[in-house]
Amino acid sequence: MAALNQPFTLPCGETLNNRMAKAALTERLADPSHLPNEKHLKLYETWAKGGAGMLLSGNILIDERYLEAAGNVVAHALSPEDPFKKWTKTVTDTNTHFWAQLNHAGRQSTIFSTLKPVSASDVKLKKAGMFAKPRPLTEPEIEDVIQRFVNTATFCRRVGFTGIQFHAAHGYLLSQFLSPKTNLRTDKWGGMITNRARLLLTIVERTRKAVGNEFPISVKLNSADFLRGGFEEDDALFVIRELTKRGVDLLEISGGTYEEVTFFSKKGIKQSTKEREAYFLDFAKAVRAEGDIPIMVTGGFRTLAFCNKVLEDKELDIVGFGRPFLLHDDFAAGFLDGSLAKVDDPIIKSPLKMYQDFAVAGYYDKQIERIAEGKKIDLNYSATMATLRMTKNEFWKGLKNKINM
């Protein structure tokens, strides 16, 4: 049996059918209710039929005031359960794990979502004029954030998700607390990495108590921000050691922030790693040397042979795929049965350099929408249309959200 097809048992005792996971992809499909709808059901039903051992949801926000994108799903203790139960059932009926990625955008809430974002400190995100200056969270507000993460995690277990992941990467709120570049606090939540990691570690501790030892808890963490003075590898290794002590079942390694978008480009990644296809394998080796926490690496995997090799070499335990699910209609099934050997990335180039990230995001957002509508992937979608799509969608959906709040 090929390595990718082999099952994997997590420390909590749950077993994934194989080593392929769909990493989180922001769906942007929710209406102003912020609830999963028929499009979510169709999208995840399609992906589940591909056979991946685990699907991660896109960002599920714990607080509707601070969205990552206008079409985010939001879940909290008072959310209606039925829409979520229908959503999870589409996946779990296929005997596939379905984990909820839980997030708080912090200062990375665009001006279309809020003009009053919050963060660890008042460090503004400078990106195409799309983000307002945040204010620092107060101590009572930090406690509220912790409880919201815990409440949403317990809600997700109740409605049928088979695991959860805390998003502590890519410059979102938990990442903002971890980074000395965005966390300038002088209280117990800032300064040394032991303090900067307090928010994430407290959330993990309290969630474990709330959901029990048999429910998978994962964390998505940057290996580094790739920003001068930001979160670096030594910080990440400290956090990982602490997460291991707290019984985290799976660590997903990623990197970058909105200011240095390594998950949209290959900037900041070692040449040797680029040549080896996946982006964060060098750091995965360092994590392996620290302990036995299961590792999922996402970013750059494009050939079946390479996926099987890194699994056989025990460089990681789970291979995470994001964009490949949006580049080939039968990607997962093809990799698992060996009929597909490789997926190729399209060339996406915005006519306006400052909106390159929007062009890339809009291109893949279009593919998500097509799958959710039961259509085939359209690899010929133009970068110009993709840029306009993101700008229009964020503005109009953001406006509708404000009207309905």
Residues in the chain: 405
Q: Do the Cβ atoms of 315 and 16 come closer than 8 Å?
A: no
Residue of 164 and 389 predicted with greater confidence: 164
8 forms beta bridges with 16
Least confident of 80-94, 145-159, 267-281: 267-281
pLDDT in tens, 353-401: 777 888 888 999 999 999 999 999 999 998 888 888 876 666 555 555 5
Distance CA 193, CA 180 (A): 8
* 7 pLDDT above the threshold of 70: yes
Dihedral over alpha carbons 314, 275, 278, 221 (to 10 degrees): 100
> Domain spans of the chain?
3-345
Both structure tokens of 153:
């995690």
Fold held by 3-345: TIM Barrel (3.20.20)
For helices 139-158 and 198-211, the axis angle rounded to 10 degrees is 40
Q: What is the mean pLDDT of residues 25-41?
A: 95
Average pLDDT, the chain: 90
pTM tops 0.85:
yes
Query: What values do phi and psi take at 271, rounded to 5?
Result: -60, -40
Confidence at 89, pLDDT banded by 50, 70, 90: very high
